[in-house]
A and B are shown apart, each in its own frame.
Chain A
Amino acid sequence: MPRFEHPDLLLGCGVPDDAGVYRLRPDLALVQTVDFFTPVVDDPYLFGQVAAANALSDIYAMGATPLTALNLVAFPSCTLGTEVLSEILRGGCDKVAEAGAVVLGGHSVEDDEPKYGLAVTGVIHPDELITNHGARGGDLLVLTKPLGTGILVTALKGGLLGPGEEKVLGETMAALNGGAARAMREAGATACTDITGFGLLGHLREMAFNSGMDVEIEVAALPLLPRAREFAAQGIVPAGAYRNREHLAPYVEIVGEVTAADQDLLYDPQTSGGLLIAVPEERKGELLNALRREGISRPRVVGRVIGNGSGKITVRGI
């Protein structure tokens, strides 16, 4: 894609990050992102919520505050009926409202397969931007949501989830990352990204490479959704996890005992995953306390930034 050069373009195509950033005034920048996908759950209202939480997440991953959103809809109105679409949009709008932002409108096209998402605009003071390339040697890496949404969505499609597990999965994917963003601003995070389609290791690789650092991850610290490890061991793994592994394997070194199931979880593509936050070690307690105050029940220190490097990831087994 051609790159743009402009004195006020702070983050664009040339620097891969979660959202683009454009300076309006010395003290104000626009943060913009767009994301949409096919349904991950059958319940249209929940799908709308998840799609909106996922789109808003890119704004939060920059440390920014979302202001406005536009719906993007592809829908087979003849076969699925407009009440399904209304429910999707109601889910999306409720989430945007929960984030304190507003939906201004949107655009829809006819398509055989439904798709929904949003383009979201937020704001931030340019000096307060939290990019994915600011991690420093010695920083700790904190993850704010459990892993395994790709594996559990696959299990759900196979009819293998109990109602309790399905509920936890839905709530996890629909949870906003806004609280995590407030907490990391307060605790002086040095870098952040959100965990989505490339899995924990894919997004970690981006953060490590862009920061010019090597990192390490402890399997024994990973927060996981209930039964995710069990389903992984039984081969309920989405194809995306295998693609992620293929791309990332050259940069990943395994040390000690890491089971095939745990490796699948590290590469599992996440839908509306948590924030991965780099924070100086001395401010770890501050960050964890702030996250818990924001209602994040299981923030975990999953690893650390080792120091200058080329984006290598060491995974330590249990």
Chain B
Amino acid sequence: MDKHEEIVDARGLACPQPVILTRRALEAAERRSVTAVVDSEAARDNIVKMATALSCSVDVDRQGKDIYIHITKPEHFGTALETHENLLFFVTSDTLGKGSEELGKLLMKNFFYALTEQGGLGKVIIFLNSGVTLACSGSPVLDYLYELQQDGAEILACGTCLDYYRLRDRLGVGQITNMYTILEYLQKIPRVIYL
């Protein structure tokens, strides 16, 4: 078998064995992809959750009683929360700094442009209040954010804020999150930059 691929046969095993065996296989550094075979919906859902939390791409395929879950690791594997050099950008406004609104918008655009130069790995960007408009279609920095995300950054937008501004359908990048996750990130990541 190709050493870059591995099949984890977790049929007949009770939770949490399927998800743990699959995670171990993914963590073996040289493998690019892992296929897990399970025969219960619970094991399937658990493995999909785990792989998604690790930013893997997942493809599920059912063959009779067996469920095949094909998982491909992202280029930079590992959860953002697990590395220690994380940086959190806490963006609570659509403009940068106090003063002219026009200038503030330009500065914000420049800021994210500059950030793309540094790459996205290890960065978490959380958008709150009017900051969420930056992650929505029509935003001047949407392309930069998309680039950062491709590069490994985790981008989160406050769901309550998107609802307030009626922008939920227009979110262009990242995931919708809630105050629990935001608080957890603020506490876990030692370096926070407030914008």
| A interface residue numbers (CB < 8 A to B) | 154-155, 157-160, 219-220, 229, 232-239, 241-243, 256-257, 259-262, 317-318
Point out which of A159, A220, A232, A234 has the most chain B C-beta atoms below 10 A from its C-beta. A234
B-side contacts of A261, CB under 8 Å: 49
With A157-B16, A158-B17, A239-B42 as given contacts, are A234 and B181 in contact (CB-CB < 8 Å)? no
Contact A235 B17 (CB under 8 A): no
Contact B46 A237 (CB under 8 A): yes
In contact, B14 and A239 (Cβ under 8 angstroms) = yes
User: How many pairs, one residue from A and one from B, have CB atoms within 8 Å of each other in the complex?
Assistant: 76
**Bound-complex Cα distance A317 to B159 (A):** 10
Residue from B40, B159, B180 whose CB has the most chain A CB atoms within 10 Å: B180
Q: Is the CB of B176 within 8 A of A235?
A: no
Whether the pair B53, A234 counts as a contact (CB closer than 8 A) is yes
Q: List 18 A-B contacts (CB under 8 A).
A: A158-B16, A159-B20, A233-B49, A235-B48, A235-B49, A235-B50, A236-B15, A236-B50, A237-B42, A238-B15, A238-B42, A241-B42, A242-B41, A242-B42, A242-B45, A243-B42, A318-B160, A318-B179
Q: Chain A contacts of B181 at CB under 8 A?
A: 259
Residues of A close to B41: CB separation below 8 A: 242
Q: Are A318 and B178 in contact (CB under 8 A)?
A: yes
| B72 CB → nearest A CB, Å | 17
Most B-side CB within 10 Å, residue of A159, A237, A241, A257: A257
Name the residue on A nearest B14 (C-beta): A239
Q: Are B160 and A257 in contact (CB under 8 A)?
A: yes
Pairwise interchain contact A257-B178, C-beta atoms closer than 8 A: yes
Say how far B126's CB is from chain A's closest CB, in angstroms.
Answer: 14
B19 and A235 form a contact (CB under 8 A): yes
Complex Cα spacing A260 to B51, Å: 14
Query: Judging by beta carbons under 8 Å apart, are A236 and B53 in contact?
Result: no
Q: Which secondary structure dominates chain B's binding surface? A: helix
- Of all chain A residues, the one with the shortest Cβ separation from B18 is A235
Contact of B178 with A236 in the complex, beta carbons under 8 Å: no
- B34 contacts A by Cβ under 8 Å: no
A160 / chain B contacts, CB cutoff of 8 Å: 16, 20
Assembly CA distance A239 to B40 (angstroms):
9
A262 cross-chain contacts in B, Cβ below 8 A: 180
A236 surroundings in chain B (CB, below 8 A): 15-16, 19, 46, 50
Q: A220-B179, A259-B181, A317-B159 are in contact. Are A239 and B49 (CB under 8 A)?
A: no
The digit string for B1-41, where 1 denotes a CB below 8 A from any CB of A, is 00000000000001111011001000000000000000011
Residues 122-137 of B at the A interface (beta carbon under 8 Å): none
Which residues of A are found within 8 Å of B45, using beta-carbon distances? 235, 237, 242
Going nearest first, the 10 A-B pairs with the smallest beta carbon separation are A235-B46, A235-B49, A235-B50, A257-B159, A239-B42, A158-B16, A318-B178, A242-B42, A158-B20, A235-B19
Q: Name 19 extra pairs, CB < 8 A, besides A154-B15, A158-B17, A236-B16.
A: A154-B16, A155-B16, A158-B20, A219-B180, A220-B180, A229-B180, A235-B49, A235-B50, A238-B15, A238-B16, A241-B42, A242-B45, A257-B160, A260-B49, A262-B180, A317-B159, A318-B178, A318-B179, A318-B180
